[in-house]
A and B are shown apart, each in its own frame.
Chain A
Amino acid sequence: MLIHPIHRMARMIKTADVDKILQKHHNDKTALISILQDIQAKNRWLPQEILEYVSEKLKIPLIDVYSTVTFYKSFSLTPRGKHIVTVCLGTACHVRGSPKILDELKNQLDINVGETTPDENFTLQTVRCLGVCALGPLMTIDDEYYGQVTTKIIPSILKKYKKRVQESDS
């Protein structure tokens, strides 16, 4: 797995915080998935060092932790942006032109699917059908849905989120 050099500075949860999460789950091995979810919720992604730490603390072989993390799509081993942009490539959205939307997003963000922008604002990913085909082509950013997207309105949508990032930073 190649980590972009800029991501070396990617945010990293402190072990004290991991300890807190572990304690919340009573250091229970069987709660591994919930623990990982909590860590990811706090840190947006799961760094190798943290997984090693969790494996040591819970006395689970590292390979089992790694298997679990790679099994579920919702876990990420690479840094993820503050906002997750998801484009639907399901059949309905596809015929309604979602590939064009995806291309436009790739251009605007200058990244490929599965990658994160160097400023860590956005991560681009795709999905097959979100169940609201009537609204296609569909894209979501975090938990917000944007239906009948056109390439023209994409910049304004992205701008909105960039602004939000700036506000929360300042």
Chain B
Amino acid sequence: MLELSINGIDVQVEEGSTILDAARFLGIDIPTLCHVEGLTPYGACRLCVVEINKGEQARLVSSCTYPAEHGLQVWTHTRRVVEARKMLIELLLAMCPSSKTVQDLASAHNVQKVRFKVDYSDCILCGLCVRMCNEQMDARAIGFINRGKDRRITTPFDVKSDICRTCGACMYICPACELRCQGPHPPGDVCGGCLNVEPVCLEEEEQKMCFMDPCGWCYKETGRRKTEKEK
């Protein structure tokens, strides 16, 4: 058993656990994107950053890949961490504004604008599909090629692969393939996220058009649902 402290709370975890496991055990919510149970941790998105140690020695690490150590001090929501996460989300938005997963993250972390050039490149290189294909489907039909800015995911020689069984698991797990809801406003770089602007809600539209959970628009400014008069 290893003993470490997260946000000042002591916790014991088994050898071989990651910081993320320990934090989840305590019920602390750390956002993740490229981490899915059943697939090996990969550390691509860095959304799960936490700060370890204090003072001079403090540094940011990705909690999904960092193994828990005895006596480690972890902070999951310091200013530095929160700012780093917001920046990451902004960068992800610039790469793939059409993804519901990314837009939801932006809403939940109150990211309201993108200061980078939005290029709709779609794939965010989280590697989920590659790991899914390798580890769960045991097909190894797709993978990363090239490097640096040219890195992308494809089949060998960019042609239809013989070993691909077209099971669709890669698409199932892909956070970029799931399109965002269109909302009441014309699509911009940041969606009309329910936490960002006034949403379309059940009463007004007779149907629920977005599935933010929890939906919090009406509590955002006033702390309670807006009355008819205030609208």
Contact = CB atoms under 8 A, between A and B. Distances in A.
Interface in A45-61: 48, 51, 61
B157 A66 contact: yes
A48 B147 contact: no
A66 B161 CA distance: 12
B147 A63 contact: no
Interface size class of A (residues with CB under 8 A): 10 to 19
B146 A71 contact: yes
A63 B135 CA distance: 14
Contacts of B145: 66-67, 70-71
A152 to B, nearest CB: 37
A62 interface: yes
Contact of B143 (A1, A48, A51, A64): A64
A148 to B, nearest CB: 32
Contacts of B146: 70-71
A64 to B, nearest CB: 6
B167 to A, nearest CB: 16
30 contacts: A1-B157, A1-B158, A48-B157, A51-B156, A61-B140, A61-B143, A61-B163, A62-B156, A62-B163, A63-B140, A63-B141, A63-B142, A63-B143, A63-B155, A63-B156, A64-B140, A64-B143, A65-B156, A66-B143, A66-B156, A66-B157, A67-B143, A67-B144, A67-B145, A70-B145, A70-B146, A70-B147, A71-B145, A71-B146, A71-B147
Q: Is the interface of B mostly helix, strand, loop or mixed?
A: loop
A3 B26 CA distance: 57
A36 B39 CA distance: 30
A51 B156 CA distance: 10
